Amino acid sequence: MNRLALVLAVLGLVLASLGLVLAPLGLTGARAGAQESVPAERLAARRWFADAKFGLFIHWGVYSQLGAGEWVMHNRKIAVPDYESLAATFNPVRFDAAAWVALARRAGVRYVTITSRHHDGFSMFKTAQTPYNIVDWTPFKRDPLKELADACHASGIKLFFYYSQLDWHHPDYWPRGQTAWDNGRPDRGDWSRYLAFMNAQLGELLTNYGAVGGIWFDGMWDKPDAPWQLDTTYALIHRLSPAALIIPNHHEHPRPGEDVQTFEQDLPGANTAGFNTSFVSGDLPLETSLTMNDSWGFNITDKEFKPVRTLVGYLVRAAGNGANLLLNVGPRPDGTISPEFVARLDSLGAWLGTYGTAIYGTRAGPVPPRSWGATTRRGDTVFVHVLDWPDPLLALPPLGARVRRAYMLRGGALVRFDDTGAGVTLALPAVAAGELDRVVVLVTGTGR
x/- mask, ligand FHN, residues 44-83, rule CB under 6 A, reads ---------------x----------xx------------
Return all residues near 136 (Cβ < 8 A) that are at least 6 apart: 126
Q: CA-to-CA distance for 257 and 234, rounded, in angstroms?
A: 6
CB of 300 to ligand FHN, least distance (A): 17
Q: CA-to-CA distance for 420 and 402, rounded, in angstroms?
A: 9
CB of 110 to ligand FHN, least distance (A): 19
Task: Using CB under 6 A, pick the residue from 120, 204, 218, 258 that binds ligand FHN.
Answer: 218
Nearer to ligand FHN, 59 or 238 (CB): 59
Peptide bond just before 175 cis, omega within 30 deg: yes
Nearer to ligand FHN, 249 or 321 (CB): 249
Cβ neighbour number for residue 383 with a 10 Å cutoff: 24
Nearer to ligand FHN, 60 or 296 (CB): 296
Nearer to ligand FHN, 246 or 384 (CB): 246
Q: CA-to-CA distance for 234 and 248, rounded, in angstroms?
A: 11
Nearer to ligand FHN, 117 or 377 (CB): 117
Task: Using CB under 6 A, pick the residue from 60, 90, 173, 296 that binds ligand FHN.
Answer: 296
CB of 167 to ligand FHN, least distance (A): 12
CB of 63 to ligand FHN, least distance (A): 9
Task: Write the CA distances from 220 to 170, 182, 249, integer angstroms.
Answer: 15, 20, 8
Nearer to ligand FHN, 47 or 76 (CB): 76
> Do 101 and 156 form a contact (C-beta atoms < 8 A)?
no
Nearer to ligand FHN, 201 or 289 (CB): 289
CB of 291 to ligand FHN, least distance (A): 8
Nearer to ligand FHN, 177 or 365 (CB): 177
Please, what is the Cα angle at 342 between 163 and 328, to 5 degrees? Answer: 25
138: contact with ligand FHN by CB under 6 A = no
Q: CA-to-CA distance for 123 and 251, rounded, in angstroms?
A: 24
CB of 384 to ligand FHN, least distance (A): 31
Nearer to ligand FHN, 71 or 140 (CB): 71
CB of 252 to ligand FHN, least distance (A): 12
# of chain residues touching ligand FHN (CB under 6 A): 8
249: contact with ligand FHN by CB under 6 A = yes
CB of 302 to ligand FHN, least distance (A): 13
Q: Which of residues 340-369 bind ligand FHN (CB under 6 A)?
A: none
Task: Using CB under 6 A, pick the residue from 289, 321, 324, 444 that binds ligand FHN.
Answer: 289
Q: CA-to-CA distance for 171 and 93, rounded, in angstroms?
A: 30
Nearer to ligand FHN, 71 or 372 (CB): 71
Q: CA-to-CA distance for 155 and 101, rounded, in angstroms?
A: 8
Q: Which of residues 86-115 bind ligand FHN (CB under 6 A)?
A: none
264: contact with ligand FHN by CB under 6 A = yes
Task: Write the CA distances from 371 to 47, 58, 317, 389, integer angstroms.
Answer: 28, 30, 10, 9
The amino acid occupying position 131 is P
Cβ neighbour number for residue 428 with a 10 Å cutoff: 19
231: contact with ligand FHN by CB under 6 A = no
122: contact with ligand FHN by CB under 6 A = no
Nearer to ligand FHN, 254 or 373 (CB): 254
Strands 111-117 and 54-58 come out as: parallel
CB of 324 to ligand FHN, least distance (A): 13
Contact residues toward ligand FHN (CB under 6 A) are 59, 70-71, 218, 249, 264, 289, 296
